[in-house]
Amino acid sequence: MAAFQELALDPRLLRSVQHLGFTTPTEIQQEAIPAVMQGKDLIVSSRTGSGKTLAYLLPMMQRLLRSKPLSAQDPRAVILAPTRELAQQIYAQLRLFVANTRLTPAFIVGGENFNDQEKILKRQPDIIVATPGRLADHLEHKSFFLQGLEMLILDEADRMLDLGFMPQLNAIHKQASHRLRQTLMFSATLDHAEVNELALSLLKDPYRVAVGAGYDPHQDIVQRCYFADNLSHKEALLKHFLQTEPIKQLILFTATREDTERLAALVQQAGFAAVGLNGKLTQAQRNSVMQAFASHKYQVLVTTDVASRGLDLLQVSHVINFDLPKHPEEYVHRIGRTGRAGQQGQAYSLVGPKDWPAFVAIEQFLRRPLAMAEVEGLKARFDGTQIKAGEQSVGKAASAKKPIKKSKAKDTKTPPDGDSLLPKKRRQFFEGGDDGALPLKKKQK
Ligand code: AMP
């Protein structure tokens, strides 16, 4: 693969890249950077952790450094992200690149003081990193204008649309709708009707890049699922992982706010410094929790989905889904919190009866079976069919439809071949193609 030097980037940018210790562009950077430098609009489906942030920051900076501003007061580039956490992450990377230039950045997200942000916008920043809701509020308030916008970048567009930001995205687009604007759109999946609709209205004859679509297997992440019968069984499995796994840092995902607190206490009892993060906290509290986790004050972060994207924490060796997420795309993003930048990560998911529909949806989304595993002494009776009332759950032999007979195969980098390990009905489903619905309770003939 070519080196960064061959991308004809401004020397200031190359110095920053060098400072980060990166020598070779990732696949997505290799594809996207030259296309953007030629002035093309772009639509990219990219896996989390693929290096997509630099894939747009570098050519964006190149254009801003090398061309005259279209307007003296309006921002020249706007980067939109679905969550405050992701926006923060992008902003941190952006600051490295603007450090040795005259370009000024601004950070405008919800949950922070509106008037303070208005003052920031009046100072006419060149580049804004924002969440769409708050930025649209400022547009409505006429805190700033977008007629001079040169680059509009949408990171995780699918997620922004899932969160209902279509009207705000359209409002921002309309304010900056002129033929010199270049638009870059990133999405975990392009298999999303609203993403395509948005792309049609925002992008002009876009160049398409699909490097490792959202559901491609991630070679650096070992994914394993464990059947669990009920809450106490899940807790027993969690304790087992805490006792036996070489955890550097762990993100534990749960379904509810209440569970973040309860499980943080449970993890603490197991001897780990743990902290809970959920949407109930104020933005300032969330920031300080994230900073404390990033600086290793805590080894375990217990969270709902609020933190599942945009965290770039290289020490996260493990992700555990105590509960499965409702949206299958979220699974990809959660497990993408580990295995960052070539490091090996482990992603374990606990699958109880309540998680089963989500599990089925995830496998359909991935178009591939997930590897099941068992912990000796903690086998579940639940195996994708329902447990009969009155049956004991934990510690008994698995029922006739056995999950994979598999002890801890810690060192496997590539997930084991699902076919041979799957219960029959799931195997039939995947062999039969990817467009049907997986029968949940019915037996397959
Ligand atoms: P992203 O997909 O933008 O969230 O990036 C994932 C991780 O890869 C981050 O830790 C980046 O700092 C890192 N990264 C980005 N580009 C490169 C590169 N060319 N070489 C090595 N690591 C990179």
* 135 pLDDT more than 50: yes
Based on the domain organization, do 176 and 252 belong to the same domain? Answer: no
- Distance (angstroms) between ligand 1 centre and the Cα of 182 equals 23
54 lines ligand 1 (CB under 6 A): yes
State the pTM of this model. 0.58
Residues 109 and 20 in one domain: yes
Are residues 232 and 182 located together in one domain of the fold? no
Q: Is 50 in the pocket of ligand 1 (CB under 6 A)?
A: yes
Same domain, 205 and 348: no
* Structural domain range at position 56: 4-211
374 neighbors 405 (Cβ within 8 angstroms): yes
pLDDT in tens, 270-279: 999 999 987 7
Region of residue 21 (left: phi > 0; alpha: psi -120 to 50; beta: else): left
Same domain flag for 17 and 160? yes
CB of residue 125 inside a 6 A radius of ligand 1: no
Q: How many domains does the chain have?
A: 2
Query: Residue 132: CB within 6 Å of ligand 1?
Result: no
Q: What is the mean pLDDT of the chain?
A: 81
**Mean pLDDT of the 344-372 span:** 88
> Which one, of 368, 36, 328, 376, lies nearest residue 192 by Cα?
328
Give buried/exposed letters for 300-327 (b at 16+ CB in 10 A, else e): bbbbbbbbbbbbbbeebbbbbbbbbbeb
Domain boundary residue, one of 211, 239, 264? 211
Radius of gyration of the chain (CA): 23
pLDDT at 239 > cutoff 60: yes
Q: Is 340 in the pocket of ligand 1 (CB under 6 A)?
A: yes
Q: Are residues 133 and 249 in the same domain?
A: no
Ligand 1 atom closest to Cα of 53?
3
Q: Assess whether 337 and 261 both reside in one domain.
A: yes
Same domain membership, residue 204 and residue 72 = yes
Do 424 and 408 contact (CB within 8 A), yes or no? no
The CATH number linked to 249 is 3.40.50.300
183 and 251 co-located in one domain: no
Greater pLDDT, 178 or 9: 9
